[in-house]
Structure 1
Amino acid sequence: MKYRSLGKSGIQISEVGFGCMSLAPELGPATALLHRALDHGITYFDTADLYQHGENEAVVGKALKGQRSHIVLATKVGNQWRPDGSGWDWNPTKAYILAAVEQSLRRLQTDYLDLYQLHGGTLDDPIDEIIEAFEQLVQQGKIRGYGISSIRPNVIREYARRSHIISVMMQYSLLDRRPEESCLGLLQEHQISVLARGTLAQGLLVTKPAAPYLQHSAETVARASAAVQRLADTTISPVEIAAQYVLAQPAVTAAVLGIRMPEQLTDALRIANSRELTAAELAELQAAAPATAYEQHR
């Protein structure tokens, strides 16, 4: 397992992270998966207060109790469940962030978070107020650092310019190269880590039949998948190739993979121990899936 620094924070995280959103609610299976991941070097675990009405945080907290000094624990805030459970509303106010963190800390059975992330965001948000909330939590020792989860370039630019965020979680894969146009260079320049999600493009790069995806036709998706398959051999699998494409980008600190089944964890651990792609391999993959640009929120 390789480890990389999370922004300028000095926090070291595994370059393959465990996305906890899809974890089964049963404590036994979830604990087994989380402990196996930790035993094999995965240290970054990512959840959110939105997932399963907070129950995902509670399961992670119970499963990793006693392991706090060995893990990097991240969660997210901003989506507030309605009292009747019918859905959630966006609430990025300072008051809500300061109240929500207490509930997350309780569910996760810890007195601090390594990373607290705004779970979305728009230019209409009270950005200065949001930053004040996160900075207050840093000063209080309740969080070690903060970031945002966003694919909106205009929002990312504002936080890079106005705050001390240490990370941006965003969707990025061979089939979603939009961050290459406007985000990766900017974030690398500011020493802000990219936490990449969706690296397998919903499985279209490795196992699922070709279908239209974002701005790509099914034919383009098929070409990209074929390129991934073509580069695979006895030393590296299609899953590893898809993830290593993302990890090859200097701005990317970790690929955060959603893990629910033991087989998915096995794939994640293979990625962690696989070789890097060569320049020629990266060029071949890029030729198969043309870069695209964000059409909104530029």
Structure 2
Amino acid sequence: MANGIFSQYPPATWEVAGTSVTFQVETLQEAGGNRIIQRERPYRDGAKLDDTGSRAKGWTLSAIFYLGGSEPGIDPDQYPDALNRLLASFDEHETGTLTLPTRGPVRCRAESYTRVETSAERDLARVTLTFVQDNEDNTTAASFTAPSARSVVRQQVEEAVFSAQQQGVWSGDLSSLTEFAAELEALINSPFEAVDQIEAKAKAIDSACARVEDAFTGASSRVPTPINQLLGLPHAVATLKGLRALRDTSRRGAAEALSSLPRIVTRTFSTTQSLVGLSGELGQPFEELLKINSGINPLLIPPGTPVRVYG
């Protein structure tokens, strides 16, 4: 009974839990898209868009199962045997492989079906099948691991700043937070950064957050009354929680970085050295060795001179 463009393509196949059914498709519809979250700000046109990933793709197929078919590659006993096996597979509750005529194989789950039989059409059923993409087969334990503090500082800053802007509040400290976060994230993800730089930047974020919190709670006499009134609003509470979370994250991020920094040790050498030579010999960046050995001549280090290197 197959005709039209789909008769020129391979038939569809659904395979799951040991069941495999091949059938001819009459119509094929695919649905997909992105999960876009719109966040609007007061007195600003449009909205800030957050793309949180792709929606699960879905496929809706219509097919006719009938007895005595002659299409190549398809079981002639389509009705009712093959159809019953296909619909019974919906009860397996497992991910299977759906091979589509125009797309090829996709990993998905059987979601729903409708089956229509009428007295006017003997040995024939019209069915509509819906399948939904399943990416759980490719999910690893790492996908469920909470993100490291060192990887989310900048993201939390953006969320806190945006939330404050939604309340109509702006401050130089909010502007500085974005800059501090970018610098801290770069520092804590570099393998040879100085401890004092990381600690200073984390403290700068903590202080800026504290000043913004002070503005929201009205603790400072310089804060106008309208801002104080924002404290009771749900969005203001969310902003304060975001700032507290950011302070905690920046501290943890700095702590993670400091705990993973290479240990600095002092060594002496029996022959004349240079920081350039030691950099190549030890496999350590020359710039980093120069930072921790500011009191010596980097080009001429006499024998027996204490030199700080990474252990």
Q: If the length of structure 2 is used for normalisation, what is the TM-score? A: 0.19
Rg larger for: 2
Higher relative CO (CA 8 A, sep ≥ 6), structure 1 or 2? 1
User: Please, what TM-score do these two structures have when normalized by structure 1?
Assistant: 0.20
Greater strand share, structure number: 2
